C-alpha cells in the first residue's frame, strides 16, 4: 500500500477538520489503509471527509455539543464511507449551484445611495403603519 496515499488522506482530514495538531498513529493509519484496500480511491476518501465536514451534526451541532469527526469514525467501514461520500457529493452539488448562480447574476455590487434611501423610506412607512 502506498504510504503517500495514507499520508495524503490524513493530511486532508487534518486540514478540512481543523485538527492541525493531530498525529498519525497505528489505528489511524490502519483504517485509511483498510479502506484503500477495499478499493476506495484517494478522491473517495477525501470526499467522505468533506461530507462529514458538511454535516452540522457531526461538527457538533447536536444534543451533546460534541464533534463526531474522527478519521476512524469517517473511515470505520464501507457503510460509513459510503454515507459520508453521499453527503460530500450533496455538499458539492450545493456549492456548484451557488457558483453557477453567481456566474449568472454576476458579482454583487454594493447598493447605491438611491437604493439605500429607498429602503429607508420603505422602513419608515412600515414603522408608521405599525404605530397607527
How many structural domains compose the chain? Answer: 1
At residue 96, the pLDDT reads 87
Mean pLDDT of all residues in the chain? Answer: 90
**Distances in Å between the alpha carbon of 12 and those of 8, 15, 20, 23, 101?**
6, 5, 10, 13, 28
At residue 1, the pLDDT reads 57
The model carries a pTM of: 0.75
Q: And the C-alpha cell for 110?
A: 454594493
Domain ranges, residue 125: 3-131
Can you give the three-state secondary structure of the chain, one letter per residue? CCHHHHHHHHHHHHHHHCCCCCCCCHHHHHHHHHHHHCCCCHHHHHHHHHHHHCCHHHHCCCCCCCCCCCHHHHCCCHHHHHHHHHHHHHHHHHHHHHHHHHHHHCCCCCCCHHHHHHHHHHHHHHHHHHHC
At residue 29, the pLDDT reads 96
Average pLDDT over residues 106-121: 79
Amino acid at each position: 500500500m502506498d504510504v503517500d496515499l495514507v499520508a495524503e488522506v490524513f493530511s486532508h482530514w487534518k486540514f478540512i477538520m481543523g485538527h492541525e495538531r493531530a498525529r498519525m498513529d497505528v489505528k489511524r493509519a490502519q483504517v485509511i489503509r483498510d479502506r484503500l484496500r477495499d478499493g476506495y480511491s484517494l478522491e473517495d476518501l477525501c470526499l467522505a471527509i468533506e461530507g462529514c465536514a458538511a454535516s452540522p451534526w457531526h461538527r457538533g451541532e447536536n444534543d451533546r455539543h460534541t464533534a463526531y469527526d474522527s478519521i476512524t469514525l469517517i473511515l470505520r467501514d464501507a457503510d460509513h464511507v459510503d454515507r459520508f461520500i453521499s453527503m460530500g457529493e450533496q455538499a458539492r452539488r450545493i456549492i456548484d449551484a451557488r457558483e453557477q448562480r453567481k456566474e449568472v447574476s454576476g458579482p454583487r455590487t454594493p447598493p447605491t445611495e438611491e437604493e439605500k434611501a429607498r429602503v429607508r423610506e420603505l422602513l419608515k412607512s412600515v414603522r408608521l403603519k405599525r404605530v397607527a
